Structure 1
């Protein structure tokens, strides 16, 4: 029986078949992101090289670039992974807490569980991963700054909600309260990096919450 299929049609069919199959991935992207996140979290953006990443992820540089883009894009995706899987769930805590004071206390203590963990870097990735970046990576520093400021704004909004609910006097300097507790959070990250124990930081949180009423006078 004669095959009437045109050669060009056979080529098109073959190409479609190849595109459908694609190149099989030899690694799990989420696992790779977790490993990249841990490197950036531990050593910072600039100190983590492409060689470090490919070695830890167990992939070649072309595979890394083909899957995640360049180092900047991989860092951003790693940061998103951190926020989704490691960062303290501030929205949930603030929504469920009955008062602003309870919300802040829960948030501080919940952060401690993430600042000091077994087999993971200490501190908050949003704070430590670009501490020593040069001017050439200003864009990344700005992006992290904006994320930290977004968290600070949520703290301000939750305290402001306490004013509206009558828990906090209307004349209270809630910006000063926000600045204080934001500074406490970021300071605990540095303390965790410097080797502070969980017990030591728990005492810091207890003292910080004792200062709550001082703002209301």
Structure 2
């Protein structure tokens, strides 16, 4: 009886390689990161990369999922546990800043910085990253709608405008972090932005 041939065993840690690839995309973006950059950082050959992760685009999508699971600030618990919509948004913004300035990791948010310079032919990359950002907007809007239902926001609160404002702030904060702004500076900006909460309700 002929034994079936076994595939060659992997000689690298797939999760560790995925983390390294994520850091590279996060730091330099999808377009500026080459296969050569990836194989060098991961310490594997191009055939091993393609065999394990598929092409560069598939690897990037895996890295986005890894980032979401291990690095991104999760709104789920914050929005569920916060007693009011205002507290939910305030905590979420401050927690994001903690993730923007982690030692020995790229600054800012990968969902904002990793696909900025993609050309038209990579529109699918832009669309995928945008999907993650739009989900944040959607969940923020739902939390403000919950605030109206629970009575801590008036029924006529301009919640869409509020979401636009705080999401724009969040994107600005990540770029400030990339430019070297310290955590305390960014936290102070959030403190000022939260003080403007009541202006929306006048």
1:5 maps to which residue?
A: none
Structure number with greater Rg is: 1
Give the 5 Å matches for 1:137-216. 137-216=122-201
Aligned structure 1 segments of 4 or more residues deviating by more than 2 angstroms:
none
Q: Is it true that 1:87 corresponds to 2:72 in the alignment?
A: yes
Give the secondary-structure state (helix, strand or coil) at the position aligned to 1:24: coil
Using the alignment, how far apart are the partners of 2:27 and 2:111 within structure 1? Answer: 12
TM-score by length of 1: 0.91
Give 5+ residue unaligned stretches, structure 1: 1-9
Give 5+ residue unaligned stretches, structure 2: none
Q: Is it true that 1:105 corresponds to 2:125 in the alignment?
A: no
Using the alignment, how far apart are the partners of 2:18 and 2:195 within structure 1? Answer: 40
Using the alignment, how far apart are the partners of 2:82 and 2:127 within structure 1? Answer: 31
Q: CA deviation at 1:156?
A: 0.5
TM-score by length of 2: 0.98
For this pair of structures, how many residues does the alignment match?
202
Q: CA deviation at 1:136?
A: 1.2
Using the alignment, how far apart are the partners of 2:198 and 2:154 within structure 1? Answer: 11
1:126 maps to which residue?
A: 111
